[in-house]
Structure 1
Amino acid sequence: MEDGFGWNTGQIRQATILPEAQVFTINGPDDWAFLCRRFPLDLPMSNVPNWTMATGYPHKWVIPDYVQVAKHYDGVHLNIQGYLATAGRVVVTDGNRAGILAGWDPGQTYWLTDVVELGEPVTWRNHSQTQEEKDWRPLKMH
């Protein structure tokens, strides 16, 4: 985990995606702009002062309205190419609005509907003596 908090245990579950799942993949800035344009959720300027300060973009900000996205797609996936090309950059969606892809990890998928079936959780533990070393193994079942 990038920028982890020193955790020594974690849980994973097997995820089975139903075959009929419709997933929108973000391959780059054009795909992020598409989501922001087609399903816009305008953000109040009071919520995004850091984006304005960090980028210098002086106009309005928009993100996808995921309630609306969920009516068309079961999930939104950010592939590694899309992350590298889009994360943290101003993506102009029209003449006076832009979106910024923030808070996503490369390869992450946000599921918006119930098309994912989760298996039983398996707890893993880092058996290393230091945080720098990694020796993650599943805990034994009793």
Structure 2
Amino acid sequence: MWLESTAPYRPDSSSLDEWRTKTLESELRFRDHRSAYPESRLSGEWWSTPVSGNTLTTTRTRNGIGALELLMEEDSDGGGEARVRPVHVRNSPRVYEISTPQEWANLVERYPLAVPESRRSDWFETTGKYRNWFIPDWAAVAEDYDPAHLGLHGYLTTLGIAISLSDNKRSTLLGGWDPDATFWLDPNVIEIDDEPTLWRHTDERWERT
């Protein structure tokens, strides 16, 4: 199910290429800033997901809850209303499943994108370490996988920790990913129902209206 937080949209296939371009541009800006102000600890970026690439994100429905994201959204704004849209998956998508830190590390190893400058400050605040940080190049991942899904076990065991890659010279961190969330890298394998349902938060629970 898609928890709709913005006006309805349909991501296009070029959005991940744009995400990669913006990520590399951001990395250069942070590198230039640290070169000019070496003592500065400018806050950078936290996410290791394609959050700015207009990538559709869904969670499953469970036990009368329209979308698990209603209960387990990171950095929730605390809003009392949400519109939830059912989605339909076409054919058999190629899913990358993240259930352990090693599975996240394997993804980064296979599709590495260096981000040591833009993640330097924020990931130091979390891990206490300055590392040669890498995240997945999601545009490259999309060539082999349609969505990537983070299971609950993967969330609990992987989020926010420094994970060394195989050469012990590079590291990665999983950040900004909700439990059970699926990032749909290929918008053509998923169809969104145009009729949303409204959910309201009352008396410490979500109810469908």
TM-score (norm. length: structure 1): 0.85
Change (3 A) 1:7 1:42: same
Query: Residue 16 of structure 1 contacts residue 117 of structure 1 at CA under 8 Å; is this kept in 2?
Result: yes
Q: Residues 1-142 of structure 1 correspond to what in structure 2 (within 5 A)?
A: 1=70, 2=73, 3-93=75-165, 94-113=167-186, 114-126=188-200, 128=202, 132-138=203-209
Instruction: Give the paired residue count.
Output: 135
What letter corresponds to residue 4 of structure 1 in structure 2?
S
Change (3 A) 1:127 1:75: closer
The one-character-per-residue Cα deviations of 1:7-48 (angstroms, maximum 9, x if unpaired) are 232111111112320010001011110111100010042443
Deviation for aligned residue 1:99 = 0.7
Decide which moves more: 113-122 or 43-52. Answer: 43-52
Query: Residue 132 of structure 2 contacts residue 170 of structure 2 at CA under 8 Å; is this kept in 1?
Result: yes
Change (3 A) 1:79 1:73: same
Deviation for aligned residue 1:82 = 0.7
Distance 1:45 1:7 in 2: 33
Structure richer in helix, relative to its length? 2
Extract unaligned runs of 5+ from structure 1.
none
The one-character-per-residue Cα deviations of 1:92-120 (angstroms, maximum 9, x if unpaired) are 11321111010011101000002111112
Segments ≥4 residues shifted beyond 6 Å? none
Extract unaligned runs of 5+ from structure 2.
1-69
Distance 1:40 1:48 in 2: 17
Change (3 A) 1:5 1:46: closer
- What's the C-alpha RMSD, in Å, of the aligned pairs? 1.8
The one-character-per-residue Cα deviations of 1:53-101 (angstroms, maximum 9, x if unpaired) are 3213332100001000000000100001111110111111132111101
Q: What is the identity percentage for the equivalent residue pairs of Structure 1 and Structure 2?
A: 36
Change (3 A) 1:91 1:116: same
Structure richer in strand, relative to its length? 1
